[in-house]
Amino acid sequence: MSAQPITTDDVPAAPPARPRLGIVPKPAATVSTMGFVGIIIALITAGMVGVMVVTTSVSAQSRELASLRSEAVQLTYQSAALESHLQNMGSANAIALRASMLGMVPNPHPAFINLADGTVTGSPQKATGDEMPFLRGIAPEPVAPPPLPAPTTETEPVETAPDLVAAGPTEDQQ
């Protein structure tokens, strides 16, 4: 930049006049202090009512959720009990017991039919009902044990095989 000489044409002649200070006129529409307090109280009341409604709704939903959870637990227990009962009723022993109550008897000589070609495997025989009494829950009749031989006073020498070895010390080793 280069320096330029200042001329009197560039300097203003007199400073501008300052505006005079005065009273500002009052706005036409104003809210009184009581009106402002009323609006604030109305907002606080509306907020409190809203919080109470939300809290009551959440509390009711919480009680309903607790009762539904309790009911779900009870239904789970009931379902497990019914499933256990169903498994017990479907076991082989329970089916055999119900079949024997109906008069059915087990057949020890079954025959099987191959459905693909119609052949019969095994020899079918009619069951009489007394083949397997233990399967029907009937205890077999006890068989009398054979009579014991009369004891004798003479003892017979027992012969032992020479390849047998005693498990403990013998009379000769003591």
Residue range 2-17, pLDDT digits in tens: 666 666 666 666 677 7
Q: State the residue for tokens 């959870």.
A: 69
In the predicted structure, residue 51 carries a pLDDT above the cut 90:
yes
12: in domain:
no
Q: Is the pTM of this model over 0.75?
A: no
Is 107 a member of any domain? yes
Domain assignment present for 61: yes
Rounded distance, CA 108 to CA 111, Å?
10
Q: Is residue 58 part of a domain?
A: yes
Tell me whether residue 152 is in a domain.
no
Report the number of distinct structural domains present in the chain.
Answer: 1
- What residues have CB less than 8 Å from 140, skipping those under 6 apart? 133, 134
Range of the domain at 80: 35-125
Are 123 and 109 a contacting pair, CB within 8 Å?
A: yes
Looking at the chain, how many residues does it have? 174
Mean local confidence (pLDDT), 115-137: 78
In the predicted model, is pLDDT for residue 117 greater than 90? yes
Q: Is residue 41 a part of any domain in this protein?
A: yes
In a domain, 20, yes or no: no
Beta strands in 108-168 (DSSP E): 112-113, 120-121
Determine the average pLDDT of the residues in 103-119.
Answer: 86
Residue 125 pLDDT > 70, yes or no?
Answer: yes
Is 96 a member of any domain? yes
